[in-house]
Amino acid sequence: MPLSLPAQLRPSKQSLAAAAAAYGRHRPLVQKALTGAFVVYVLSATHHGLFGRAGAPPPPAKTRGKGKGKAEEEGKRPRVAVDAVFYQRLSAILRIVIPGIRSKEALLLCMHSSLLIFRTVISLYVAALDGRIVASLVRVQPVPFLLNILKWLLVAIPATWTNSWLSFVQSKLALAYRTRLTNEIMTQYLGDEQTNDKIFYKLANLDDRIKNPDQMITHDIQRFSNHLAAIYSNLAKPILDVILYNYQLSRNVGAEGLVLLTILVQSSAALLKALTPAFGQYAAQSAQLAGALRHTHSRLAEFSEEVAFLGGEATEHALLEREFAGVLMHERLVLDRRWWHGCVEEGIVKWLWGSFGLCICAIPAFFKLPGVNSFDLGSRTEGFVTNRRLLLSSSDAFGRVMYSYKDLSELAGYTARVSLLMETMADVKKGKFDKALVSSASTDENAKILKGRGQVVESDEIEFQNVPIVTPNGDVLVKSLSFYVKPGQHLLIVGPNGCGKSSLFRILGGLWPVYGGVVRKPPASQFILIPQRPYLCLGTLRDQIIYPHNAADMAARGVSDADLLAVLARVHLAHIVEREGGWDAAREWREALSGGDQQKIAWARLFYHRPKYAVLDEATSLVPVEMEALMMQHAGELDITLLTVSHRPSLWKYHAMILQYDGQGGYVFTKLDAERRLALQQEKEALEAKLLEVPKMRARLQELRAAAEAEMRN
C-alpha cells in the first residue's frame, strides 16, 4: 500500500496534456504578465542596487579634542561608498550644475536622452536586419541579400551620426557641469562684489581640513564633471537597453526563458557585486595622495632659493620620495585589485552569461513552444541570429549596468572631495574652523577666550578695546589689547619676534577672527598692506602699480600712464618703464626686479590708491634711508595714516604714537617722543659699545700689571 501512493499522486498523461493545452490557450496573458513583472523587477533591482543603502544613516562622526592634530583621525580613513551621504552630497551639487529645467545643462541632458533612445531603436532594427541577412544566405536568395546589405549601409548613416553626437553632447555636458561648478566654487573661494570673506586665505591658514584647494578646484572638479556626465549614459542607456532588448527577446523565445535567464544572471551578479572592491574609496584616496605630491613639488618651487642656500636638496628629495612612494604603493594596490576583479568580471559577464544566452537562444530550435508555429531552416537561422544579437546587446547592457556601479563608486569618491571643499568653505564662512591647537589653548583662561567672539564696528578711526590677540592654532599672545589710531597720527609698532605685531594687522584686515572686545576700523577697501616682500602679480608693469585694479578701473578713475609715471618718479623708478620695454611689458617681476625695487613698486601702488590707512610691515628695510624719508613724507602729504612695524630708528620721527610689546603678553601704548627716544637709543648703543670693550680693557690691565711686576723684580 505505501508503494502505491506515489503512483496515485503521479499525474497522468491526460492531465499533463490538459495542463499544456490550458497553458497554450492562456500563454499570451502569461507572457504579458511575466514580461511586465520583468520590467518592474529590472527597475526595482536597479533602484535598490543604486539607492538601496541611501536610507542607512551615516556612521557617527568622531569629535575632535582641542590640541589634537589630524594624525589621530586619519589613522583610519573614512570609507567612501554609495550611501545616503553620497546621494545627499550629489543632490546638493546637482542643484548647482543643473539650476533649472530651462538651463543649458537641462537642454543638453534632454538632447542626450533623445539620442540614447534613438540609438537603442537603431540597435533593435540592426539586430532584426542581421537575422534577415543570414536567413537570405541560408535560403540562397541573392536579391533579398543585396537589398538587406543596402539597408545595412543606409542605416549606418544615422547610426554613425548618433554615436558622434552622443560623444559630442556628453563632452559638452561635462564642460557645462565643470563651468557651473567652478564658477560657484570660485565665487565662494575668492568672493564677489557683494561678499568677500577671504575664504582662500582662511582655508590655507585657519583650517586644517583642506591641504590642496588648488588641486580640488582644477583636477577634482574636472574628474567629477567627466564622471557625472558619463554616469548618466552608463546608467540610463543600459537600463533602457536591458528592458527593450529583453522585451523583444521574450517575444522571440518566450518569457519563460527570460525569467530563467534573469534568475541565473542575478545569482552570478550578486556574487560579482560581493567581490567588487571599494573603488570609490580608492579614487578619493588617489586624488588625495596625488594632491599631496603636487603640493610638495609646489613648495619646493616656491622656496627653491631658501632650499638652495641651506643645501636641503637631500631632505627635499627624501620628502618627495616619501610622497611618491605613497602614491606608488596605492596605485599598485589598486592595479592588483583591478586585475583580479577584471578577470572575475569578464569571466562572469562575458563567458558565463554568454553561455546562458546561447542556451536561451536555442530554445525555439530544440523545443516547440506553445502557440508558436514551426519554421523552416532559414526562419530558424534568422531567429537564432536575431535572438543572439539581441542577447549579446542585452548582456552588454547588463554588463554596463554592473560596470556603472564601479563608475558610481568612483563618482562617489570625487563627490566626496568636491563636497569636502564646499562644506569646508561654508563652515569657514560661518567662522567654524578645524585647526590643531597648541597645548596652552586647553587651559581654563585661554579656553574661555577661544570660546568668545568680539564685535567689529565700521568707523573712520581705528580702535581696539580689550581685544585678545590669538593665533589660528589657539596661542594667546596678548589677552587684552587696547589702543587707537586717529587720522594723521602715525603709529609705530615694535617688539620682539612672535609677540603679535603681524597678528594685529591680520585681525585689522579681517583675516583672523575677533575673540573678544570691540574692533573699530574703516572698511577693508581703505587699507593697503605693504609687507617686507611685496606681492607682484602676473601681468604687465602697469598691473603691478594699479593692482588689484585693471586698465578699465584705472581709466574710470581718470588716471593715465603719464600719471603712473609721475607716481614712479616719486619713488625714483621712472627709468624702469623704458628699461623693461614699456607699460605693457610682461615679466616674472619677482625675478626681474631687485628687493629694493619691489618695495618701491609697493609704495608706488600705495600712492596710486591713496587709502586712508596703510600697514607697513618692514616695508622700507631694503631701500636707502634717504629714499625712505621721501616716501614717508609723500605719504603724509597724501593724508595716508601709517601703521608701521620697523626696527629702523630713522622712522621714529615720522610717528606720533607707539605700541610696544614686551614679548610676555604685555604692551605699552603711549605718545612717541622721537627725539628723546632717539637720544636714549644712541646713549644705550654707546653704553653697550663701551661695555663690549670692558673685557678687553680688563685683559689689557692684567697684562700691564704683569709687566710692571716683572720690571720691579728685575
Q: Helix (H, G, I), strand (E, B), or coil: what is residue 558?
A: coil
pLDDT tens per residue across span 530-539: 888 888 888 8
Same domain, 413 and 280: yes
Task: Look up residue 119 and give its three cell numbers.
Answer: 540609438
60: confidence class by pLDDT, cuts 50, 70, 90: very low
DSSP H/E element including 238? helix 221-253
Kindly state whether residue 21 falls inside one of the protein's structural domains: no
DSSP secondary structure string for all residues of 317-382: HHHHHHHHHHHHHHHHHHHHHHHHHHHHHHIIIIIIHHHHHHHHHTHHHHS--TT-----HHHHHH
Same domain, 505 and 466: yes
Same domain, 692 and 650: no
In terms of C-beta distances under 8 Å and separation of at least 24 residues, what long-range contacts does 93-96 make, across chains too? 93/181, 93/224, 93/415, 93/418, 93/419, 93/422, 96/180, 96/181, 96/184
Least confident of 118-122, 156-160, 268-272, 634-638: 268-272
Least confident of 171-185, 266-280, 573-587: 266-280
Residue 298 has what pLDDT? Answer: 84
The pLDDT of 436-444, averaged and rounded, is: 70
Final residue of a domain: which of 370, 398, 429?
Answer: 429
DSSP H/E element including 123? helix 104-138
Same domain, 667 and 695: no
Residue 61 has what pLDDT? Answer: 40
Same domain, 404 and 460: no
Same domain, 546 and 527: yes
Distances (CA, A) of 123 to 221, 243, 351, 615: 34, 13, 22, 71
Query: Is the pLDDT at 701 greater than 70, yes or no?
Result: yes
Same domain, 668 and 689: no
**Cα dihedral value 548, 538, 218, 102, nearest 10:** 50
The pLDDT of 111-121, averaged and rounded, is: 86
DSSP H/E element including 700? helix 674-713
pLDDT tens per residue across span 492-511: 898 888 888 888 888 888 88
Going by C-alpha positions, the residue among 249, 246, 256 that lies closest to residue 369 is 256
Same domain, 701 and 650: no
Do the beta carbons of residue 46 and residue 404 sit within 8 Å? no
Residue 607 has what pLDDT? Answer: 92
Final residue of a domain: which of 414, 429, 444?
Answer: 429
Sheet bearing 518-521, strands edge to edge: 455-458, 518-521, 462-470, 476-485
The pLDDT of 439-443, averaged and rounded, is: 68
CATH number of 663's domain: 3.40.50.300
Q: Helix (H, G, I), strand (E, B), or coil: what is residue 405?
A: helix
Residue with cell 623693461: 580
Task: Look up residue 108 and give its three cell numbers.
Answer: 543638453
Residue 69 has what pLDDT? Answer: 44
Kindly state whether residue 10 falls inside one of the protein's structural domains: no
565: confidence class by pLDDT, cuts 50, 70, 90: very high
For residues 347 and 359, give the distance between their C-alpha atoms in angstroms, rounded to a whole number.
17
Kindly state whether residue 650 falls inside one of the protein's structural domains: yes
Kindly state whether residue 71 falls inside one of the protein's structural domains: no
Domain range holding 120? Answer: 29-56+78-429
Q: How far apart are the first and last CA of the chain?
A: 152
Query: Is the pLDDT at 56 greater than 60, yes or no?
Result: no
pLDDT tens per residue across span 618-668: 888 888 888 888 998 999 889 999 999 887 778 888 888 889 888 888 888
Kindly state whether residue 4 falls inside one of the protein's structural domains: no
For residues 610 and 620, give the distance between their C-alpha atoms in angstroms, rounded to a whole number.
18
DSSP secondary structure string for all residues of 42-101: HHHHHHHHHHGGGGSPPPPPPPPPTT--STTGGGSPPPP-SSHHHHHHHHHHHHHHS--T
Residue 262 has what pLDDT? Answer: 72
568: confidence class by pLDDT, cuts 50, 70, 90: very high
Same domain, 596 and 685: no
Same domain, 514 and 486: yes
Residue 68 has what pLDDT? Answer: 43
Residue with cell 536575431: 386
Task: Look up residue 475 and give its three cell numbers.
Answer: 596661542
Do the beta carbons of residue 469 and residue 436 sit within 8 Å? no
Q: What percent of the chain has pLDDT above 90?
A: 13
Least confident of 225-239, 333-347, 365-379: 365-379
71: confidence class by pLDDT, cuts 50, 70, 90: very low
Query: Is the pLDDT at 244 greater than 50, yes or no?
Result: yes
User: Would the pTM count as exceeding 0.85?
Assistant: no
Kindly state whether residue 662 falls inside one of the protein's structural domains: yes
Kindly state whether residue 3 falls inside one of the protein's structural domains: no
Query: Is the pLDDT at 62 greater than 50, yes or no?
Result: no
Query: Is the pLDDT at 417 greater than 80, yes or no?
Result: yes
Do the beta carbons of residue 127 and residue 258 sit within 8 Å? no
pLDDT tens per residue across span 124-161: 788 778 778 877 877 778 888 889 889 888 988 988 89
pLDDT tens per residue across span 597-625: 999 999 999 999 999 999 888 888 888 88
Distances (CA, A) of 581 to 272, 313, 323, 576, 587: 67, 37, 43, 8, 10
DSSP H/E element including 444? helix 444-451
Least confident of 116-120, 137-141, 281-285: 137-141
Strand 613-617 with 527-530, pairing = parallel
Same domain, 487 and 387: no
Q: Helix (H, G, I), strand (E, B), or coil: what is residue 462?
A: strand
Higher pLDDT, 182 or 131: 182
The pLDDT of 200-226, averaged and rounded, is: 87
CATH number of 277's domain: 1.20.1560.10
Final residue of a domain: which of 398, 429, 460?
Answer: 429
Q: Where are the beta strands (DSSP E) in 77-195?
A: none
Q: How many domains does the chain fold into?
A: 3
Query: Is the pLDDT at 445 greater than 80, yes or no?
Result: no
Kindly state whether residue 225 falls inside one of the protein's structural domains: yes
248: confidence class by pLDDT, cuts 50, 70, 90: low
Same domain, 667 and 685: no
* Contacts (Cβ under 8 Å, ≥6 apart) of 477: 469, 470, 471, 498, 499, 500, 503, 665
